[in-house]
């Protein structure tokens, strides 16, 4: 079978450092064309492929089977919809939309066109992620009592697009799809209640640190994302019989490195080890197989919607600073 021909829309850091090497290693996919307003950037991830400086030219290319969208957040939904209406399957960077209404719109277009649309939450394809979810939902650590997650780092250059509110900047949009939503998929998406939000604002008008605490199915969840706190990445799930936590310092972004889970059940401790892997490649290849009718797991759009609804609730509770 011929390789799946990918078209990249956007040629920024995540495309260059993550999806480009992932697809370059694939046996079932290849980068066929790249569309970017910066042709030099496009050349770095498609040295032998086609280069377009207009997104619609790539979407009109009949040889492109599907697209990967890695533009700034605010442009994800418009390009995803244009791509599906142009007959392309879509793997779109997180967040899929700026709010739940946008995600619902994207879901409707996917259904209308029959085109596959998947949010690229790549960490969900990591074997360790699947294993911690399995342990939590199996009841091995008993009735859940608390979930805690953190994804923080210290220092963003002032020119970073994550600080630009006009294109969907802010730390919750950036890191929330990892740590803030984890209690949802860990527990099987029960009802969210009792949300509280604390935010530190950047001078440019975006959230720089956001703590979102809530109950998920009655279980307290404490989450933090920040671009102004020293690096901290961890996930701990506690229950009446024990606990499970991600080992090391890469709870959500274990890429091409071995990783561990630390499990304690009724006083007995053990460590499960996972070989190095590339979850971006696992995601991209699962996407291709799914498009071709295989039963590979891909993240359902219903989960993307629940994440967007969680963010909507958090943003509604954020208290923006007022000028005195």
* Residues tagged active-site: 94
Sorted by sequence, the CB contacts under 8 Å of residue 67 that are 6+ apart come out as 6, 7, 8, 9, 58, 59, 83, 88, 89, 90, 91
Q: What are phi and psi of 200, to 5 degrees?
A: -110, 125
Helices (H), the chain: 13-14, 20-24, 39-45, 55-59, 76-85, 100-113, 127-138, 171-175, 182-187, 279-291, 301-317
DSSP assigned state of 17: I
Whole-angstrom distance, CA of residue 188 vs CA of residue 176: 18
Instruction: Find out whether 228 and 143 touch, Cβ atoms under 8 Å.
Output: no
Three-state DSSP at 226 gives strand
Residue 121: strand, helix, or coil? coil
CA 302 from chain centre, in angstroms, equals 14
Q: Which two tokens stand for residue 74?
A: 């605010």
CA distances from 21 to 18, 31, 279 (A): 6, 10, 11
Query: Is 222:148 a contact under the CB 8 Å cutoff?
Result: yes
Q: How far apart are CA 192 and CA 217, in angstroms?
A: 6
């Amino acid at each position: 079978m011929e390789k799946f021909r990918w078209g990249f829309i956007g040629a920024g850091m995540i495309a260059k450092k993550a999806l480009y090497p992932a697809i370059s290693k694939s046996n079932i996919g290849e980068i066929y064309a790249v569309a970017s307003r910066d042709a030099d950037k496009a050349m770095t991830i498609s040295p032998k492929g086609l280069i377009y400086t207009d997104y619609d030219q790539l979407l009109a290319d009949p040889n492109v089977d599907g697209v990967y969208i890695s533009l700034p957040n605010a442009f994800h939904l418009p390009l995803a919809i244009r791509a599906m209406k142009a007959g392309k399957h879509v793997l779109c960077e997180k967040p899929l939309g700026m709010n739940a209404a946008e995600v619902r719109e994207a879901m409707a277009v996917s259904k209308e066109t029959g085109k596959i649309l998947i949010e690229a939450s790549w960490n969900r394809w990591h074997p360790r992620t699947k294993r911690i979810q399995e342990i939590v939902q199996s009841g091995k650590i008993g009735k859940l009592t608390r979930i805690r997650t953190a994804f923080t780092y210290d220092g963003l250059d002032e020119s970073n697009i994550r600080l630009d509110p006009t294109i969907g900047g802010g730390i919750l949009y950036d890191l929330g799809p990892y740590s803030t939503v984890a209690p949802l998929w860990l527990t099987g998406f029960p009802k969210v209640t009792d949300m509280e939000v604390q935010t530190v604002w950047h001078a440019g008008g975006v959230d720089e640190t956001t703590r979102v605490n809530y109950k998920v199915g009655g279980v307290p969840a404490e989450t933090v994302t920040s671009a102004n706190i020293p690096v901290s990445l961890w996930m701990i799930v506690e229950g009446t019989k024990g606990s499970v936590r991600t080992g090391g310092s890469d709870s959500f972004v274990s890429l091409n490195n071995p990783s561990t889970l630390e499990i304690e059940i009724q006083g007995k401790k053990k460590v499960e080890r996972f070989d190095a892997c590339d979850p971006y490649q696992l995601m991209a290849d699962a996407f291709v197989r799914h498009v071709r009718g295989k039963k590979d797991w891909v993240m359902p759009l219903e989960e993307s919607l629940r994440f967007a609804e969680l963010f909507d609730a958090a943003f509604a509770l954020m208290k923006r600073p007022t000028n005195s």
